C-alpha cells in the first residue's frame, strides 16, 4: 500500500483525487455524489474569489470618494 501511495502522490491533483475517491467510494452512486461535491467546491471557490475582488473594488472606490471630499 505504501508503494501505491508513493505512486499516487506523483499524479496531478485531479487524477490523484479521482483514484482515491474510487478507492474510498466503491459504488457508482457514491462516487458520482463525491464528484458533484468536488464540482460544487470548485464553483464555491470561484464565486468566493469573485466576491473578494468585488469587495476590494468597492473599498478602493470608497477610499477615492473619501479622499476627494476630505483630501
Give the end-to-end CA distance of the chain in Å, rounded to a whole number. Answer: 66
| Residue 55 in grid coordinates | 469587495
pLDDT at 23: 73
pLDDT at residue 54 greater than cutoff 80: yes
pLDDT digits (tens, 9 = 90+) for 10-24: 667 777 677 767 777
Chain-wide mean pLDDT for the chain? Answer: 81
DSSP for residue 10: T
Q: What is the DSSP letter of 51?
A: H
Q: Check residue 6 and give its pLDDT.
A: 64
DSSP annotation of 1 reads -
Global pTM reads: 0.52
Encode pLDDT of 25-52 as tens digits: 667 787 788 888 889 999 999 999 999 9
Report pLDDT for 52: 97
Amino acid at each position: 500500500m505504501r508503494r501505491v501511495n508513493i505512486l499516487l502522490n506523483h499524479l496531478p491533483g485531479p487524477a490523484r483525487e479521482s483514484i482515491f475517491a474510487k478507492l474510498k467510494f466503491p459504488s457508482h452512486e457514491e462516487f458520482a455524489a463525491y464528484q458533484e461535491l468536488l464540482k460544487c467546491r470548485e464553483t464555491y471557490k470561484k464565486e468566493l474569489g469573485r466576491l473578494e475582488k468585488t469587495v476590494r473594488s468597492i473599498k478602493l472606490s470608497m477610499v477615492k470618494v473619501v479622499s476627494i471630499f476630505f483630501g
